[in-house]
């Protein structure tokens, strides 16, 4: 059978105030074109369909249309919720999804059987997917308890909880003559972040070892980390990455989907298929004079300005580079805390003096900023 693995669409993403709706339309159209060309038997969307738990009607319309278009290629479609998604809201779409022939699992349900999906390809290859949406730490214990663990077992770590849940969902993977698959939205120890993930859900407390996946799985389709990569483990484990660079930290990532060909009796053959059409994210550096001489690069820009901070600097940069979404003083010019700056002592110091010390410590010598602070302070201190 052939599988198309994608994840982390983040539809509805706003980058520094800039909507990316048109980019998402183009990128998802590219994913659909890959599906039409490859003709997979199964499409797996491994979470983070949306960028926010409260998506706009436009974002919902785009996601549902994309899922429908993928289904119309003739593939079965399985999609799970990620940490950016509202699991309950996704589950509310299940009647629509089932009518469209799409399997949607937004959150963990009471019965583990609901997370085990069976199917058969047109060529007669039987397959099974253990589908685990994102589980936060506070719900992991509840999920474990639902699956009849003891109180002592429920006190174990998050990684232990995930291992137990996955163990329950993959109990039938010893059955021969079937392709066994896992899809989940989580962080695996040793995998590299893409640069735009939500930090709270990629810290060590949320990381699980690759050994939580059974060696009997033919392929593990992961979402959550935005960089396409293989993860060493007891079976083939892979993040497909995001088909669109979500933030400037991901500008070096190559947007793609993963195509897998496998049978019940042969190892998975895995390849990346690039997805074009996204507006690139780029970083430029320089003084105002240097920025004025460069040809504005294509795409959205992050600008590191090699100038001392002052009022109006941002506006000057935006006049030179209208597509600059993020403008910052070059980190190389920002002095390290305490590097030659006098440490402000609170006792007996006025707010004006403390603010002046702060500006000095940051290398910010603009008198206009100090005057503005004085004016604002006088207004609130009346």
Alpha-carbon gap, residue 360 to 364, rounded angstroms = 6
Can you give the pLDDT at residue 278? Answer: 74
Can you give the pLDDT at residue 341? Answer: 44
Can you give the pLDDT at residue 377? Answer: 78
Tokens of 313: 């600097």
Alpha-carbon gap, residue 159 to 146, rounded angstroms = 17
Tokens of 80: 């799970």
User: Binning pLDDT at 50, 70 and 90, where does residue 147 land?
Assistant: low
Can you give the pLDDT at residue 346? Answer: 57
- Dmax over CA atoms of the chain, in Å, equals 81
Tokens 């049978």 correspond to 263
- Residue (of 348, 129, 333) closest to 220 by Cα position: 129
Can you give the pLDDT at residue 156? Answer: 64
Alpha-carbon gap, residue 217 to 94, rounded angstroms = 27
Domains of the chain, each with CATH number or no CATH:
2-274 (3.60.21.10), 280-334 (no CATH), 341-381 (no CATH)
Least confident of 130-139, 267-276, 298-307, 312-321: 130-139
Tokens 């320089």 correspond to 286
Alpha-carbon gap, residue 193 to 152, rounded angstroms = 33
Tokens of 233: 């483990």
* Torsion of Cα atoms, 125 then 47 then 221 then 34, to 10°: 70
Strand 187-188 versus strand 219-223 pairing type: unpaired
> How far is residue 382 CA from its own chain's centroid?
47
Tokens of 1: 């059978």
pLDDT one-digit tens code per residue, 27-75 = 999 999 999 999 999 999 999 999 999 999 999 999 999 999 999 999 9
353-361 CB contacts, 8 Å cutoff, 24+ apart? 361/335, 361/337
Can you give the pLDDT at residue 267? Answer: 94
Alpha-carbon gap, residue 313 to 294, rounded angstroms = 18
* pLDDT surpassing 90 at residue 380: no
Instruction: Please list, residue by residue across 283-306, b when 16 or more beta carbons sit within 10 angstroms of its beta carbon and e when fewer do.
Output: ebebeeeebeeeeeeeebbbbbbe
The answer to whether the Cα torsion of 297, 299, 305, 311 is positive or negative is: positive
pLDDT one-digit tens code per residue, 349-370 = 777 778 887 777 766 767 778 7
Q: Do the beta carbons of residue 285 and residue 304 sit within 8 Å?
A: yes
Q: Do the beta carbons of residue 116 and residue 128 sit within 8 Å?
A: yes
Strand 237-239 versus strand 219-223 pairing type: parallel
Can you give the pLDDT at residue 344? Answer: 44
| 315-341: average pLDDT | 78
Quote the radius of gyration of the chain (alpha carbons, Å).
Answer: 25
Can you give the pLDDT at residue 342? Answer: 47
Runs of H (alpha helix) within the chain: 21-38, 57-72, 87-92, 94-99, 137-146, 158-169, 288-293, 313-320, 351-361, 367-380
| 274-301: average pLDDT | 88
């Amino acid at each position: 059978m052939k599988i198309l693995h994608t994840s982390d669409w983040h539809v509805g993403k706003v980058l520094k105030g800039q909507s990316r709706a048109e980019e998402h339309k183009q990128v998802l159209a590219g994913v659909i074109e890959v599906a039409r060309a490859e003709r997979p038997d199964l499409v797996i969307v491994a979470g983070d369909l949306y960028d926010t738990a409260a998506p706009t009607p436009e974002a919902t319309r785009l996601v549902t249309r994309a899922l429908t278009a993928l289904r119309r290629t003739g593939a079965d479609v399985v999609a799970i919720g990620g940490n950016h998604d509202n699991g309950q809201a996704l589950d509310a779409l299940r009647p629509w999804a089932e009518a469209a022939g799409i399997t949607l699992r937004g959150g963990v349900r009471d019965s583990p059987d609901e997370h085990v999906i069976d199917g058969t390809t047109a060529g007669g290859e039987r397959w099974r997917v253990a589908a685990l949406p994102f589980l936060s730490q506070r719900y992991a214990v509840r999920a474990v308890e639902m699956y009849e663990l003891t109180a002592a077992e429920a006190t174990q770590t998050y990684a232990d909880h995930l291992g137990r849940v996955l163990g329950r969902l993959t109990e039938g993977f010893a059955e021969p003559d079937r392709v066994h698959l896992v899809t989940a939205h989580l962080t695996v120890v040793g995998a590299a972040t893409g640069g735009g993930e939500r930090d709270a859900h990629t810290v060590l407390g949320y990381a699980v070892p690759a050994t939580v996946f059974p060696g009997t799985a033919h392929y593990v389709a992961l979402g959550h980390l935005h960089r396409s990569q293989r993860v060493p483990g007891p079976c083939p484990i892979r993040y497909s990455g995001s088909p669109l660079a979500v933030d400037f930290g991901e500008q070096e990532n190559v947007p793609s989907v993963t195509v897998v060909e496998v049978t019940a009796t042969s190892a998975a053959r895995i390849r990346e298929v690039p997805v074009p059409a996204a507006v690139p994210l780029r970083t430029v550096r320089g003084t105002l004079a240097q920025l004025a001489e460069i040809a504005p690069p294509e795409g959205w820009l992050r600008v590191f300005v090699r100038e001392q901070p002052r009022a109006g600097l941002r506006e000057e940069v935006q006049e030179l580079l209208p597509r600059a979404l993020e403008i910052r003083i070059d980190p190389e010019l920002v002095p390290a805390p305490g590097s030659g700056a006098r440490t402000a002592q609170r006792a007996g110091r006025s707010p004006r003096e403390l603010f002046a010390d702060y500006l000095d410590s940051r290398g910010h010598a603009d008198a206009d900023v100090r005057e503005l602070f004085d004016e604002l302070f006088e207004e609130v201190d009346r």
